[in-house]
Amino acid sequence: MNYNTEDIRRIAEEIANLVQENIRQKQSESQEPQTMAMFELAFRETLRQIGAEALGIFLSGLQATPESEIACACGGKLHYQRMRPAVMTTVFGKVEYRRAYYAGCSCGQGVAPLDKTYGLEAGAISSGLAQLMALAGIGFSFKESEQWLKEFLLFEVSENSIRSETQQIGRLQREGEAENIQTSQNENALQARLREEQPVPKRLYGSLDAAKVRIEPRPRKGEAVADHEDWRDMKVGCWYQAEAVLLSRQSARQRQKAQREGTVFRTTHHHYYCDIAHVDPFGKLVWATGCQVSADLAAELVFVCDGAAWIWELVAQYYPNAVQIVDWFHAEDRLKRLADAVFPSPAQRQSWLAQVVESLWQGQVEEVLLACQHLASQHEEARQAVTYFSNNGQRMRYDFFRAQGYLIGSGTIESGCKQIVTQRLKRSGAQWTVEGAVLTAKARAAWLSGHWHSLCQKQARLPLAI
């Protein structure tokens, strides 16, 4: 919004004088030294109080001259009673305003039309404050959020309110996903997309993974308390694109990487999704989110994941024509772990490892298999490696994949698991129900995917939380 410069200057001078007088009074009482931090805090608190008062006046000013009676939703008539005060908690703290209140219908209902028009509710949290609370809730524990928001807002909001607003965003995300799942199962809706003009990526990547979340055992009334905690898999997926990093913009680490890999990529247009769910229902989410980003229409679809069987079963079921690549670093790590388990001598270990890693890098999976089979008769780790490389051989043609300019590392989904699960759900002392973990994770995934503001707009249209 643009305001008249002279008006802003006049108001600013009045505020400055107000703060200056307040500081003088405090100085005469405490004799504390004046600092810039003191000035900033004084202005913040003054502006907060002015904002609360001004917003209350503004909301009250939206009230037109009350009519003597208005129509009731039941078909009857409501009669004007009085200008009734109300209090809301906003980004400025408590705000009081007055609006016309109507009652007297035979149905027994009362209404304040101003509240209905602007989505206000006495005793509630405003949508603007709710968004800030949810944003804090996806970044910090709910207790930390309470403390952080107090420093930021200069008034207290409760831990439970932060939890509620954060999980409301997650709930909206889940509802949107459910609608997308339903649409993605509708053949007519899928066909309609083909007639629409929409950007379709030339090359799109997908990755899937899972990370453990600790679930607090909470028995129902009369049940015994479980003597152990329950760890559940939070399945995480991501759709994304990749672009080459120009040499002039490469970091020292990226330039080192470029010496071996040639082109260095960075990923863009991330779309994260997650759930604690069995494979089949999660597969429907994989398909639905894929339809959102036109994965089924992309000229090239490439999945880069670890070797987990459930992942490749889903990829084969929903995207049978996709290029499948086992993440290079998982495959290399399997060889490193095998070498550590088999060779006690560092020299032997390094000699064997250098040879098989180079073979793997060149896509010579048969050579890697022979090297593992040679050790399999005496080592269980080697027998497991034989199974791993046998099952994933076609997904390890790294020489071909590099020649095609494909990413061969799944760092994007690894990062997604860390940002969604590790950094938020595994914070020290965190205790979750399945529902709480899922909703909080979905809210954080929406933020990381750039969908936050669209969900906040939906939230603003809902009844406000008490």
Q: What is the pLDDT of residues 364-394, one digit of tens each?
A: 999 999 999 999 988 999 999 999 999 999 9
Residue 343 has pLDDT above 50, yes or no: yes
Q: How far is CA 414 from CA 101, 316, 327, 434, in A?
A: 55, 21, 11, 22
Query: Per-residue pLDDT for 237 more than 60?
Result: yes
The average pLDDT across 396-411 equals 94
Q: How many degrees, rounded to 5, is the angle at CA 307 between CA 301 and CA 310?
A: 80
Percent of the chain with pLDDT strictly greater than 70: 94
pLDDT at 219: 64
In angstroms and rounded to an integer, the radius of gyration of the C-alpha atoms of the chain is 30
How sure is the predictor about 3, in pLDDT bands with cuts at 50, 70 and 90?
confident
Q: Residue 260's pLDDT is what?
A: 67
Residue 116 sits at the vertex; the CA angle it makes with 114 and 118, to the nearest 5 degrees, is: 70
422 has a pLDDT exceeding 90: yes
Tokens of 326: 């086992």
Which pLDDT score is estimated for 86?
Answer: 96
pLDDT at 375: 94
Write the DSSP string, 55-110: HHHHHHHTPPPPPSEEE-TTSSEEEEEEEEEEEEEETTEEEEEEEEEEE--TT---
pLDDT for 66 equals 93
Domain ranges in the chain are 1-34, 187-417
pLDDT per position as a tens digit, 59-97 = 999 988 999 999 999 999 999 999 999 999 999 999 999
Determine the pLDDT at residue 27. Answer: 77
Give the residue-averaged pLDDT of 156-180: 96
Please say if the pLDDT value at position 30 is more than 50: yes
With 90 as the cut, is the pLDDT of residue 247 above it? no
Which residues have C-beta within 8 Å of that of residue 50, sequence separation ≥ 6? 15
The answer on pLDDT for 259 being more than 70 is no
Per DSSP, the chain holds a count of helices (H) and strands (E) of 18, 8
Q: So what's the pLDDT on residue 33?
A: 80
pLDDT of residue 464: 53
How would residue 444 be classed by pLDDT, with cut points 50, 70 and 90? Answer: very high
Q: How confident is the model at residue 28 (pLDDT cuts 50, 70, 90)?
A: confident
Per cent of the chain over pLDDT 90 is: 79
Q: What's the confidence (pLDDT) of residue 466? A: 45
How confident is the prediction for the chain on average, in pLDDT? 92
Q: How large is the angle between the packed helices 127-139 and 434-448, nearest 10 degrees?
A: 100
β-pair type (323-326, 230-244)? unpaired
What's the rounded Cα separation, in Å, for the pair 130 and 117? 19
Q: Which residue has the higher pLDDT, 333 or 255?
A: 333
pLDDT for the residue numbered 248: 74
Give the pLDDT band of residue 115 (cuts 50, 70, 90). Answer: very high
Total-model pTM = 0.89
